[in-house]
Amino acid sequence: MSVVGHAPPPFFKRGPAPLVRLLFFVSLSLVLLVADLRFRTLEWVRLAVATAAWPLQRATGMPIDAASDFGAYLARQSTLLKESEEFHRRQLETANLLLRQRHLEQENIRLRALLDMRARQPVEGRIAEILYATRDPFSRRVIIDKGSQHGISAGQAVVDDVGVIGQVVRVFPLTSEVLLLTDKDQAIPVEVQRNGLRAILAGAGAGTMELRFQAANTEVQVGDILVTSGLDGVYLPGLPVAKVVKVDRDSTHSFARITCVPLAGVERNGLALVLSRRAAMPPQPDDLENADDPAAQGTRTKRKAR
């Protein structure tokens, strides 16, 4: 209700009309654009705003940068792990040939003049991963991820890129149990690489081995390398096994006490190579010719009787 002579006050306080505001701000924008383009009058304002907004910009970009760096790190780590595993696999695949090379070289020197020397047969292998060690603290056994489903059988030799690790003693469908060289129940026929002396190497526990039943004056020295002799029909001849680290020659005892340490990573490596069984050597031509000769058979029978 209005008083006589006075207009009622407006309900909302109104300013300039919207069209007037639009024209004002458009004109101001055009003036600022022309002034900045011609005279660079807003350069200091732009620099000040950029400087003030830089910490905020870095703070907002840090999560994205961190996620990108973390993804790149994981990618590089995965690539390096794959390359390392592939390199180790290739190294194990050629371990059979590398381990026997030195032995074959020495054998070729001794047997170069023998034309009827039997050629050594190549033996294939299967790479296996060591899953875990058994819970028995008094034994040295490990479990590998290959079993009867992968062609593994009891008695196969297990090596790495340096030498012999042990022997498969128990086989399951998907896993197998390997008896390590350092176990007290393990024994392996070996020979001294320097002079060809044959002996039996047995596990002594605690990462060591013993060369048993050797006379006090035996020709074994500290530093000698022991390799498999192959007489047991399980291990290939010439595979590095252990190194002599201590020789105790006590005159009060009949045998010398010879302590050795394995050359291979018996209790360190995560991958191993399971060698297939040795195939029987083919009969020699002389044996085939004498197979039907009764006189030759009688001669062999007499030799066996002697």
Confidence at 204, pLDDT banded by 50, 70, 90: confident
Please report the pLDDT score of residue 5 as a whole number: 56
Name the helix (H) or strand (E) containing 24. helix 18-39
Provide the pLDDT for residue 161. Answer: 80
Q: Has residue 14 got a pLDDT over 60? A: yes
Q: Are 184 and 204 in contact (CB under 8 A)?
A: yes
* Confidence grade of residue 200 (pLDDT, cut at 50, 70, 90): very high
pLDDT at 279 (0 to 100) = 58
Statement: residue 168 has pLDDT above 90: yes
With cut-offs at 50, 70 and 90, classify the pLDDT of residue 9.
low
Sign of CA dihedral 175, 180, 183, 186: positive
Q: Within 10 Å of residue 114's Cβ, how many Cβ atoms?
A: 8
- Residue 52 pLDDT class (50, 70, 90 cuts): confident
The yes-or-no verdict on residue 87 having pLDDT over 90 is no
Q: Which domains does the chain have, with CATH numbers?
A: 18-48 (no CATH), 61-120 (no CATH), 124-278 (2.40.10.340)
Q: How far apart are CA 191 and CA 199, in angstroms?
A: 6
On whether the CB atoms of residues 190 and 200 are closer than 8 A, the answer is: yes
Tens-place pLDDT, residues 234-284: 888 888 899 999 998 877 777 888 999 998 888 777 788 888 876 554 555
Range picked from 43-57, 109-123, 235-249 for highest mean pLDDT: 235-249
What is the per-residue pLDDT for 303? Answer: 44
* pLDDT for 117: 33
Half-sphere exposure of 299 (CA within 13 A, CB side): 8
Mean pLDDT score across all residues of the chain: 78
The confidence score (pLDDT) of residue 172 equals 92
pLDDT digits (tens, 9 = 90+) for 53-85: 778 877 887 888 888 888 888 888 888 888 888
pLDDT at 171: 92
pLDDT band at 191 (very low <50, low <70, confident <90, very high): very high
pLDDT of residue 296: 46
Average pLDDT over residues 9-22: 70
Q: Which range among 7-16, 26-35, 169-178, 267-276 shows the weakest confidence by mean pLDDT?
A: 7-16
Candidate from 134-138, 153-157, 179-183, 186-190 with smallest mean pLDDT: 134-138
Give the three-class secondary structure for 150.
Answer: helix
Query: From CA 94, how far away is CA 107, in angstroms rounded?
Result: 20
Mean pLDDT across 152-159: 89
Q: How much is the average pLDDT of 94-112?
A: 69
DSSP annotation string for 173-195:
SS-EEEEETTSTT-EEEEEETTT
Structure tokens at 232: 């047991």
Identify the sign of the CA torsion 222, 224, 225, 227. negative
Percent with pLDDT over 90 in the chain: 15
The pLDDT assigned to 288 comes to 44
Distance of CA 101 to the CA centre of its chain: 22
